[in-house]
């Protein structure tokens, strides 16, 4: 008779999209998985690090396409750990950056199941970096905010209004559906000329980007047909990017015509 495996759960950050940005420790955890539960934002190429015989369950959640509710995901993790042993919960980006990782851990540990976390490279930092945007730069930006555009009650975070008052770089995740509200808040602070970059599917082959200012970015979104999942980066550091200089030179030339 086979000895039943000890239940254990590892939360692994899958990174921002490029499978090469998975950490070595994340790959090692996947190699020991009996079951992998993965999100919509976790690149499926990463599943090749898991054993072929392991069970892979897609539990993706995206706007307008909810495969499972969070409560159902929590229960699936526990049920599979108790049944099969080692469950890897693979989450896009970092599990603790708007990933509800702590909620999952609280639920799992209430059943006495041990957990561990493998941090992931957050899209909030990596996606701008792939476009040459340094979120902090001496003499330009001394700090940065990372804010969710949509809170648990589906509203825009109040922190966006506070961020608009600062000189910091502002990175907004899950904010495309609230773009008009975000723009209004920055315009109220006379920030209409502040540079903005919107990067869709960052670090992947499907990546698309649009650049402009607070006053023009909505037109750019329409022209470039940008949509979720995308990251909004607001601040002077956007035009400091060597990679985006061509975009801005073309943008300014059009503005002067």
| Catalytic residue numbers, as ranges | 39, 61, 174
How far apart are alpha carbons 86 and 78 in whole angstroms? 10
The residue behind tokens 């690090």 is 49
- CB-based contact 11:86 (threshold 8 Å): no
Q: Which residues pair with 230 in a beta bridge?
A: 200
Q: Which residues pair with 137 in a beta bridge?
A: 141
How far apart are alpha carbons 204 and 148 in whole angstroms? 21
DSSP state of 206: T
For 252, the token pair is: 């300014």
For 44, the token pair is: 């499926």
How far apart are alpha carbons 247 and 233 in whole angstroms? 15
Which regions of the chain does DSSP assign to beta strands (E)? 8-13, 35-38, 55-58, 61-62, 65-66, 86-91, 115-118, 144-148, 169-173, 195-200, 208-213, 230-234
What SS3 class is residue 135? coil
- CB-based contact 207:240 (threshold 8 Å): no
- CB-based contact 12:104 (threshold 8 Å): no
How far apart are alpha carbons 250 and 211 in whole angstroms? 10
């Amino acid at each position: 008779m086979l000895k039943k495996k000890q239940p254990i759960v590892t939360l692994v950050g899958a990174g921002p999209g490029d499978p090469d940005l998975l950490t070595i420790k994340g790959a090692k955890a996947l190699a020991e998985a009996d079951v992998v539960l993965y999100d919509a934002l976790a690149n499926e190429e990463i599943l090749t690090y898991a054993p072929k015989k392991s069970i892979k369950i897609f539990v993706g959640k995206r706007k307008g396409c909810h495969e499972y509710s969070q409560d159902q995901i929590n229960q699936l993790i526990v049920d599979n750990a108790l049944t099969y042993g080692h469950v890897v919960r693979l989450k896009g980006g970092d599990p603790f950056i708007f990933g509800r990782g702590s909620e999952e851990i609280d639920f799992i540990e209430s059943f006495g199941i041990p957990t561990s976390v493998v941090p992931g490279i957050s899209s909030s930092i990596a996606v701008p970096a792939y476009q040459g945007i340094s979120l902090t730069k001496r003499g330009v930006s001394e700090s940065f905010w990372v804010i969710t555009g949509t809170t648990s009650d589906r509203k825009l975070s109040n922190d966006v209004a506070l961020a608009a008052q600062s000189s910091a770089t502002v990175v907004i995740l899950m904010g495309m559906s609230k773009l008009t509200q975000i723009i209004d808040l920055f315009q109220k602070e006379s920030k209409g000329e502040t540079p903005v970059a919107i990067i869709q599917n960052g670090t992947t082959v499907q990546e698309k980007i649009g650049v402009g200012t607070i006053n023009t970015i909505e037109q750019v979104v329409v022209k470039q047909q940008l949509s979720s999942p995308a990251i909004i980066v607001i601040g002077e550091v956007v035009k400091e990017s060597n990679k985006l200089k061509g975009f801005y030179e073309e943008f300014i030339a059009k503005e002067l015509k």
